[in-house]
């Protein structure tokens, strides 16, 4: 009979028993009432590439929240109650390509949120939509070398923040912004005018399942 591994996620007596021989690359813990991620909980899952923790009760993320997930590329944290993200939270994920933080309670992205000694060289898609987000202070976000897709739709970010993103994030191809800025104009680094709703390449995004919504961005003329 195979040995079993007990994973305690929260203080609410939630235990998941997973046979040791089922070392899948994808882990789905959606809707499990998880409120806390204990230290070293992922030690046996270093080969996991996709982790879904959406629709739980997480309120904060720490720098050791994902320690041990060395191979992780896809992280879905949407539809929790996340309010704070500690500095260097994603440093333990050097191969991260996609992170969904949509539909949470995040009001600001602080300095160091995306800070990592390796610079998160593969992170190309970040979703922050459906948050009461007003401030994006982190310079490391603007320096992500592979960032091509950033969704800040249905947030409260200011036009100046949008301008800074367009000016400083030169690799960006798709940007989704709050509706109230869609008719504003801003100069690109090349001196041209970019219309906010149509500033970048044609694209489509579907938000997290708790806020199903369609957006269309047309190619800039």
Which run of H or E residues covers position 159? helix 159-168
Q: What is the rounded radius of gyration, in angstroms, for the C-alpha atoms of the chain?
A: 18
Reduce the DSSP state of residue 193 to 3 states and report it.
strand
- Residue 208: Cβ-neighbour burial (10 angstroms; 0-12, 13-18, 19+): buried
74-76 β-sheet, strand order: 26-28, 50-52, 74-76, 98-100, 125-127, 149-151, 174-176
How many alpha carbons lie under 13 Å from residue 109 in its C-beta half-sphere? Answer: 25
The predicted structure's pLDDT at residue 181: 58
Q: How confident is the model at residue 176 (pLDDT cuts 50, 70, 90)?
A: confident
pLDDT of 204 above 70: no
Among 11-20, 104-113, 121-130, which stretch is predicted with the lowest mean pLDDT?
11-20
Assigned token pair, 152: 């800040």
Average pLDDT over all residues of the chain: 77
Q: What does the pLDDT look like over 45-73, one tens digit per residue?
A: 889 999 999 999 999 999 999 999 999 99
- Give the separation between CA 90 and CA 144, rounded to whole angstroms: 13
- Give the separation between CA 161 and CA 211, rounded to whole angstroms: 24
- Give the separation between CA 123 and CA 39, rounded to whole angstroms: 24
Reduce the DSSP state of residue 4 to 3 states and report it.
strand
The predicted structure's pLDDT at residue 142: 83
**When comparing pLDDT for 77 and 175, which is higher?**
77
pLDDT of 101 above 50: yes
Name the one residue in this structure whose structure tokens are 């994902």: 66
pLDDT of 193 above 50: no
The predicted structure's pLDDT at residue 104: 98
**When comparing pLDDT for 191 and 83, which is higher?**
83
The predicted structure's pLDDT at residue 167: 81
Percent of residues, the chain, with pLDDT higher than 90: 50
- The domains of the chain, with CATH numbers, are 25-217 (3.80.10.10)
No. of helices (H) and no. of strands (E), the chain: 2, 17
């Amino acid at each position: 009979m195979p040995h079993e591994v007990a994973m305690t996620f929260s203080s609410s007596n939630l235990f998941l028993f997973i046979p040791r021989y089922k070392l899948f690359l994808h882990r789905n813990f959606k809707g499990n009432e998880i409120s806390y991620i204990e230290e070293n909980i992922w030690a046996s899952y270093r080969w996991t590439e996709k982790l879904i923790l959406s629709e739980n009760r997480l309120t904060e993320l720490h720098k050791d929240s994902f320690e041990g997930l060395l191979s992780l590329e896809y992280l879905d944290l949407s539809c929790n109650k996340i309010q704070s993200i500690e500095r260097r939270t994603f440093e333990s994920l050097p191969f991260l390509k996609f992170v969904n933080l949509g539909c949470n309670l995040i009001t600001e992205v602080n300095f160091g949120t995306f800070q990592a000694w390796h610079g998160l060289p593969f992170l190309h898609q970040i979703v922050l939509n459906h948050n009461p987000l007003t401030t994006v202070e982190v310079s490391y976000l603007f320096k992500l070398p592979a960032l091509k897709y950033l969704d800040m739709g249905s947030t409260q970010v200011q036009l100046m923040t949008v301008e800074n993103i367009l000016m400083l994030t030169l690799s960006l191809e798709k940007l989704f912004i709050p509706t109230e800025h869609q008719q504003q104009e801003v100069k690109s680094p090349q001196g041209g005018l970019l219309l906010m709703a149509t500033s970048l390449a044609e694209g489509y995004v579907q938000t997290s399942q708790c806020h199903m919504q369609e957006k269309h961005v047309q190619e800039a003329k």
